[in-house]
């Protein structure tokens, strides 16, 4: 089976897994679990991804053997903790960028409390300014920022995504009306293979770079 077929098979397996009732989930370290629960309970602005989406982010980070991950839009660090748990399995590292200074400080504190500060680095600032200063390439990108900026972020980051890397976009189902250009790119770009999964109804686009 060639690489493309394996990727498609893995994506189909993920769809089946997340469409089925949950029988058992891998354990979460107690410290991280407590922080995740606290963030969700205080998330009155609904900035965090769902728990189901978080579990998928962890699985994708681990299964793709991710080493150099980038998150655009940290909020309070909920999704970064899930990704960081996946990277604990691979020895990878995550840089997460948050525009709002207060939320960036909260994310950093939450990640430290979750025991993941050795894996996750929070950088406050405008992603369009921060990303060009980051060295190297990425093999996993999770985008959960202002929806109107998705296409611009894709254009900025995709050239630095490794072949075989994953580009993930959040809210592509429940906020599809705000993502016309980005969704068109996902349908038509010859350099990616994309599927959309929706563990919780919000929707995550999963694009594999050819």
Instruction: Return the ∠ at Cα 62 (arms to 174 and 100), rounded to 5°.
Output: 50
Residue 108 domain-assigned (yes or no): yes
**Beta-strand pair 161-170/204-209:** antiparallel
Q: Does position 102 have pLDDT exceeding 60, yes or no?
A: yes
For the chain, give the percent of residues with pLDDT over 70.
88
Q: Does position 16 have pLDDT exceeding 60, yes or no?
A: no
Give start and end residues of each alpha helix (H) in the chain. 3-19, 30-41, 51-63, 78-90, 101-113, 127-130, 150-157, 180-188
DSSP state at residue 132:
G
Residue 98 domain-assigned (yes or no): yes
**Would you report the helix, strand and coil content of the chain in percent, each value rounded to 5?**
50, 20, 30
Q: Convert the pLDDT of each residue in 59-97 to its tens digit.
A: 999 999 999 999 999 999 999 999 999 999 999 999 999
Residue 181 domain-assigned (yes or no): yes
Burial (Cβ within 10 Å: 0-12, 13-18, ≥19) of residue 27: exposed
Residue 10 domain-assigned (yes or no): no
CATH number, domain with residue 154: 3.40.50.150
The CA distance from 84 to 20, in Å, is 25
Report, as an integer, the average pLDDT of 133-142.
98
Query: pTM to 2 decimals?
Result: 0.88
Residue 138 domain-assigned (yes or no): yes
Find, among 96, 88, 33, 98, the residue nearest to 66 by Cα: 88
For the chain, give the number of residues.
210
Report, as an integer, the average pLDDT of 119-141.
98
- What's the pLDDT score for residue 140? 98
Residue 133 domain-assigned (yes or no): yes
Number of domains in the chain: 1
Residue 69 domain-assigned (yes or no): yes
Residue 87 domain-assigned (yes or no): yes
Range of the domain at 140: 31-209
Q: Judge contact between 201 and 173, C-beta under 8 A.
A: yes
- What's the pLDDT score for residue 48? 87
């Amino acid at each position: 089976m060639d690489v493309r077929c394996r990727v498609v098979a893995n994506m189909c397996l993920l769809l089946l897994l997340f469409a089925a009732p949950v029988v058992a989930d891998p354990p979460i370290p107690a410290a991280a679990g407590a922080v995740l629960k606290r963030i969700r309970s205080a998330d009155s602005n609904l900035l965090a991804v769902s728990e189901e989406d978080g579990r998928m982010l962890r699985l994708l980070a681990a299964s793709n053997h991710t080493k150099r991950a980038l998150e655009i839009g940290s909020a309070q660090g909920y999704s970064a903790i899930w990704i960081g748990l996946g990277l604990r399995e691979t020895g990878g590292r995550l840089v997460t960028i948050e525009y709002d200074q207060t939320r960036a400080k909260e994310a950093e504190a939450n990640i430290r409390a979750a025991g993941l500060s050795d894996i996750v680095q929070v950088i406050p600032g405008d992603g369009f300014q921060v990303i060009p200063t980051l060295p190297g390439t990425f093999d996993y990108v999770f985008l959960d920022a202002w929806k109107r900026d998705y296409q611009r972020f894709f254009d900025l980051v995709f050239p630095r995504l490794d072949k075989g890397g994953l580009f993930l976009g959040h809210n592509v189902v429940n906020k599809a009306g705000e993502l016309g250009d980005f969704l068109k790119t996902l349908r038509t770009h010859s350099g990616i293979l994309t599927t959309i999964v929706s563990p919780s109804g919000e929707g995550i686009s999963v694009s594999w770079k050819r």
